[in-house]
Structure 1
Amino acid sequence: MGAATASDVGTGRLDRRTVLKGVGAGSVVPLAGCLGTYDAVVGDSSGPEPVRVGVLAPNPQSDFIGRSMVQSAQVAVDERNDDHDGIDDRAVELVVGDTNGSPLEAKREYQRLVLEENVDVTVGTFASEALVNIMDEIAEQETLHLTSGAATQEVSQLVREEYERYKYHFRVGPTNDTDLGRAQIGFMNDVAGDIGWESIAVLAEDYPWADVPWETVQDRIDDTPVENVLSRRYAPSKNDFTDLYDEIADAGADAAFIMTAHTGNDALFDWSYPNRPAEPPQPQPFAFGGIHVPMQLPTYYEQTNGACRYGVSYSAATEQSEITEKTPQFVDKYEETFGTYPQDMGYYTYDAINLFAEVAESEESLDSADLVPVIEDISYTGATGNVRFYDPDDTYAHDRVYDPDDPTTVGVYFQWQENDEGVGVREVIWPDEYATSEYVTPPWLE
């Protein structure tokens, strides 16, 4: 089936739900250009025995998130070989495992990477279910794994409860699901009132990934200056938000604050181009934002023909941000190499490989048992900020530390805006330290 164009979407000539199924997390996003086949190893195998890095990613040939993870890993490996002579004068090779978005396939690919490809470390995994399904394999192989895509706390609980068995797992990013909820509360405390969001409706799709962020927000939102006038979990099958948005409008909410990955496209279009009989369609009488995974895609503005303009979402970083000096360096190299920008999980994957390389070189060892205690004590400055890990006996053992007093650890909120050239850009609006623009109120709400 051929892909529809963005203009088809914007004018409503085609069913937007059918057209944009592929823009959500874990699905196909049509883009110009393709990756080469990743069955082969990326790197230089001449000289001493190379250091081998395995990356687990969903459908890197066709899925933007998986592709960004692999391409970010390639940038990290190329930089390590070109600028640092590899690791301890040994070339670094990248071996890719396509998880196909499946827990079973993730397990098979993990086994292949470690047992057949003899990788020294694995990074990646996107779906929480996939990560959980390889934890016993990580323990059995005693091989370091640095997660760069899944937020579930199940794995940190395993590390805490059976440390000697599961100590080889660390989460470089994203923050775990509780800390993901804490970041939303931080945004409410610091920004919401200033941008006119004095009352909100909190929405979350009924998928497991959203359970803990939802609970965290529900437990803490009454302590913020924002009034929560409506809360709803909605069915995974929901594809028409008209009735729900009518409730939000009737409740007088200034904004719909949503947690969505799989249903984000429908939620967006029913906000900005709602399926109503009036012509032309009128946007909803409230602002829109939250954790909206499709909006993290750097191509989303073009894919939606600008329908995401004024929408707000959360990310590790954007092409506009400078969390550390490494952020724009990585973004520029990525854009120079691939002609586009990385998605959220790409930033974490890049940091995971560089963190491993730094520790392996400093210790002159690839033995995971040698590296674990060093990583436990590390404070590493990466493209996503300061990377530190919770202690082994902490509730969130070996998860990335979320510290509200350290803005480099909390991620960024951005808003899709249009620049003077008519190009959509993700402008950072929080934290203040990294803001590249002020929030722009949708003109129909002024």
Structure 2
Amino acid sequence: MAQAMKIAIVDDEQDMRQSISQWLALSGYDTETFSSAEEALKVLGPDYPGIVISDIKMPGMDGMQFLKKLMGSDSALPVIMITGHGDVPMAVEAMRVGAFDFLEKPFNPDRMSELAKRATGARRLTLDNRVLRRELSDGGQIMKKLIGQSPVMERLREDILDLGQADGHVLIDGETGTGKTLVAHALHAVGSRAGKKFVLISCAALEEEALAKRLFGPMLPEDSMLPAIEEARGGTLVLEDIDALSETLQAKLLSVINEQGTPAETRIIAISNLQEAGKTCEDALRPDLFYRLAALRITVPPLRQRGEDILTLFTRLSEQFSEEYGCDAPQVSAQEAAQLLQAPWPGNVRQLINIAERAVLQSRRGSGTIASLLMSDHEEMQPVMTTEGKPLKEYVEAFERMLIDNTMRRHKGSIASVMDELCLPRRTLNEKMAKYGLQRSDYLA
């Protein structure tokens, strides 16, 4: 669930504090007020869950000193400064120091609400990204995100652990939507560079000149960041869409790699998202660069090769979306389970996420089927089937495992409740749980 955003109002004038607070409270914000910068600094830490609105002219520590203190503690904290009439030079200086924006007295309350909305949106994104980065720096946590017991997923996790401990450059390829960027995060998190810089650049998102500057420099004096190759020194540089690099930038990257020696100062993880039919990353890159990057290589398996992991993933995703939307997760029938297993999944995990969310929304409305969602994605497919059929026994076992897994999860590991709901004797339930690798300890609240 999205974190509720606060607004800290800092002003030495009580009437101004109260009027701002009342207006923002009417707009749905949670506000707290402070009569001085010194008082506010006791509360406003680096991960403050909100934004700050502060007057510039205050006794004691003035607004500019306050702003500098806040920026020193958390440069991404949005601070809206209130300036007196005609104090434009001071407002410009505040923006240079790092203020999010400014309001000039007398200000329009609607303008303040608009700024607050933009600032809290930016703050929420910053805090969400920080949480994500903390998760991604924890090797154990990120490996848990690579869900699945299929042989291909077991092999993927083993490859990540092995290559994570190595220190060479890595090439990750695979179909779109399979989770290649997540694998790059995992490689960094389980290796010796965990905790060091992790810098991700999309080679397809920038024009060549801008990409060259971002990767290699030189940066201008007013630029706030280092070239990526320097920024990631000692850590990992991930280059998404590596096949989009021009020949000139390929040559520059190869030169940098050769200059680093062994072990590399900056480990490079290249991700290939080549979509052209009949072409591979090897076709797109010059041979000497390709072989330097592909000395260690991981191919992320497509979803259609992951067997009953599809049902496990669908269950986890639908549970997450049902919690987000405040409704029950849809119950999957045997026929729907078979349809999920049979679908070709050209969009892979990304497509499954979309289907799971739409299934929860359909269930909340009390209409629609999983089959209709699959068919709406690929209307030309009649029926929705992979090219490789499976024995009926595999579909039955996959559904049976999903049913026991879901029931154990719903009853938080209560064997008696599961036996009662599924009408199974204790011995039969134990045998099936052992067969499917399900352990009661995984479900205890």
TM range (shorter): under 0.3
TM-score between both structures, scaled by the size of structure 1: 0.27
Query: 1 or 2, which has the higher strand percentage?
Result: 1
Which structure's residues are more often helix, by fraction?
Answer: 2
In the superposition, the TM-score normalised over structure 2's length comes to 0.27
User: Which entry has the higher C-alpha Rg, 1 or 2?
Assistant: 2
- Report which structure shows greater RCO (CA 8 Å, sep ≥6): 1
